Amino acid sequence: MVLPTLFARFVEKAPLCVMARALLERALQPGPLDRLFEQLATVQYTRELLFSSVVELLSRVALRAFPSVRQAYRDDPARWGVSLAAVYDKLNHLEPQFGPALVRYSAAQMQAVLTELGAALPPWREGYRVRIIDGNHFAATQHRLAVLRDTAAAPLPGQALAILDPQSRLLLDLVPCEDAYTQERALLEQVLPRVEANDVWVGDRNLCTPKFLLGIARRGGFFAVREHAQLNIRYEGERTARGRCATGELFEQQAVVTDEQTGSSVRVRRVVVQLDEPTRDGDTEVSVLTNLPAELADAAAVAELYLTRWTIEGCFNELTTALRCEIETLGYPRAALFCFAVAALAANVVAAVRAALGSAHGAERVEAELSVPQLALDIAGKYQGMMIALPPQEWAPFRAMSLPEFADCLRQWARQVDWQRVKKAKQGPKKPPPKKPSASKQRHVSTARLLQETQKG
C-alpha cells in the first residue's frame, strides 16, 4: 500500500509538520466545534458553511501555510462548498463569544494531551494555579472598508485580554473587545467571573485597579500585580530590607488598597525591587502588590512570580512573528477578533508540539534552545505539499485514537526531529552601530568599488 510509505516519509523528513497536523485533527473535530456554534449562536446560523470549516480554513493561515484567507480558500475551493464572498461574510459577522469559546475548547483538548505526555510543569505551589493576564492591541488593517477610505489614519480593528497558564504555556481564554479605544481596565469586569479559589493572577500595572484586586480577593484568589502610580493606596510603616533577587535589592512594606466608590479595602504586601539596571522606560524600581501570605511566598518568591509575566509577552511575540494572529486584509473587528482566537488555538497546538519535543529531547533543553519561529517556518514550508500527498481524510484516524496511543505517536515523531533544524542560533554581544555620514550629498555608493578599496588597503 502506498499511503503508509508516504506517511513514513513525511514522519522521517517533516516530523514537526506531521505532529502539528495530527494535533490539529484532535483540536478541530467538526462535531464538537459545530455543536459549540449551535450552543452559542444568538444571531448567526448555519447554511452551507460550517463553523468547523471556517476554523479549519483560518488555522491554515495562522500556521502560515498560506499568506491570506483568499489563498487558503483558492487552494481547494470545492472543500468549502461556498463562494469566497460567503466565507468573508461569515467571518465578518461572527459573534464575539465564539473566539473565547474556541480558545477554551482548544486549551482543554491540548491540556489532555500534555497530561498524557507527562510534560506539564509542576504547579507553582501545590494546590495553586498561576494565571498571567495581559492585553494585546491588534495592528492596523488596510483601508478596504468603505468607512475607511476617506481617512489616512491607521484603522485599528480591536483588542483582547489574554489569559495564559505559564506551567503548560497554553492560552486558556480571551476577553475580546471590538473597540480599540476602550481602556483595558474596562474589560477586567469580564475577567472576574473566571477567577477561582487559589488562583494567583499576575499582571502589569495597567491592570492594577482597586475593583479588580478586591474582586480577586473576594473570590478566594490571590494576585501579584505591579503597582500603578495613580492607585488609591495607603502605606503602613517603613520599608524592610528582604535581601536580594536576580534583578536587585528587595524591600517589603504593608499597605492598604481602597476602592473609593464602595469604601471597601484589601490589605496587601508591597514588594519593592530596587533594580540594578533601569528598565527601558527608565524606572529604577518596581513595586509589586500581593495578598499572598508571607509563609506561602516571601518577597523573593513574589518578585520571581511577577517576572513570569514575561512569558505572555513571549507568547504574544510568537503569535505575531511565528504564527499569523493579525491579517491586514481583515478590516471588520469581528473577523480580526476571531482570527486572533484561531491563532491562539494554533499557539496551543505549538505548545503541545513543544511538550512532545520535551518528552523526547528533555524539557530543559527545549526551554533553553528551541526556536519557535524556526519551528513554525519548518511547519509552514512543508504543510501544503504534505496535504497534497496526504489529504484531510487520511488524518481522520487520529480523531478516534485513544490518548495514550496518540501520545505515543507524538513521542515517536518527536524523536525523529533533527534538533539542529529548530535550535536557536547562537548570537554574540551586539556591537553598537558605527556613526554614518549624512546621505544628503552622496545618495548611493557602489558596493563592488568599496570592496575593491578594502582589498587594496
Q: Beta-carbon neighbour count of residue 233 at 10 Å?
A: 18
Q: What pTM value is reported for the model?
A: 0.89
192, 216 Cβ separation under 8 angstroms: yes
Q: Phi and psi of 172, rounded to 5°?
A: -90, -30
Using an 8 Å Cβ cutoff, are 167 and 130 in contact? yes
pLDDT of residue 121: 76
Q: Domains of the chain by range and CATH?
A: 2-95+330-422 (no CATH), 122-318 (3.90.350.10)
- Interacting residues of 238 by C-beta distance below 8 A, sequence separation 6+: 253
pLDDT value of position 246: 86
- Residue 444: which region, alpha, beta or left (left: phi > 0; alpha: psi -120 to 50)? beta
**Which one, of 31, 36, 204, lies nearest residue 105 by Cα?**
36
CA end-to-end distance (rounded Å), the chain: 66
**Of 75, 72, 77, whose CA–CA distance to 57 is shortest?**
72
Q: What is the pLDDT of residue 1?
A: 34
Residue 142 to residues 6, 69, 322, 333, 400: CA-CA distances in angstroms? 41, 14, 21, 12, 42
The answer to whether the CB of 125 falls within 8 A of the CB of 222 is no
- pLDDT recorded at residue 295: 94
Write down the pLDDT at residue 444.
85
pLDDT of 46 reads 66
> Which of 282, 176, 249 shows the shortest CA–CA distance to 271?
249
pLDDT, one tens digit for every residue, the chain (457 residues): 345 788 999 999 999 999 999 999 998 888 999 999 999 888 776 677 889 999 999 999 998 889 999 999 999 898 888 999 999 999 999 999 999 999 999 999 999 999 999 877 788 899 999 999 999 999 999 998 999 988 899 999 999 999 999 989 999 999 999 999 999 999 999 999 999 999 999 999 989 999 999 999 999 999 999 999 889 999 998 999 999 988 899 999 999 999 988 899 999 999 999 998 888 878 889 999 999 999 999 999 999 999 888 888 888 888 887 888 888 888 999 999 999 999 999 999 999 999 999 998 888 888 889 998 899 889 988 998 999 999 888 898 998 899 999 999 999 999 999 998 888 887 767 777 777 777 677 778 899 988 998 887 6
Q: Please name the amino acid found at residue 267.
A: R
pLDDT of residue 158: 94
- Of 171, 146, 135, 142, nearest to 157 by C-alpha is 142
Smallest CA-to-CA distance from 163 within 126, 197, 201, 214 is with 201
Tell me the C-alpha distance between 320 and 346, whole Å: 12
C-alpha cell at 282: 527608565
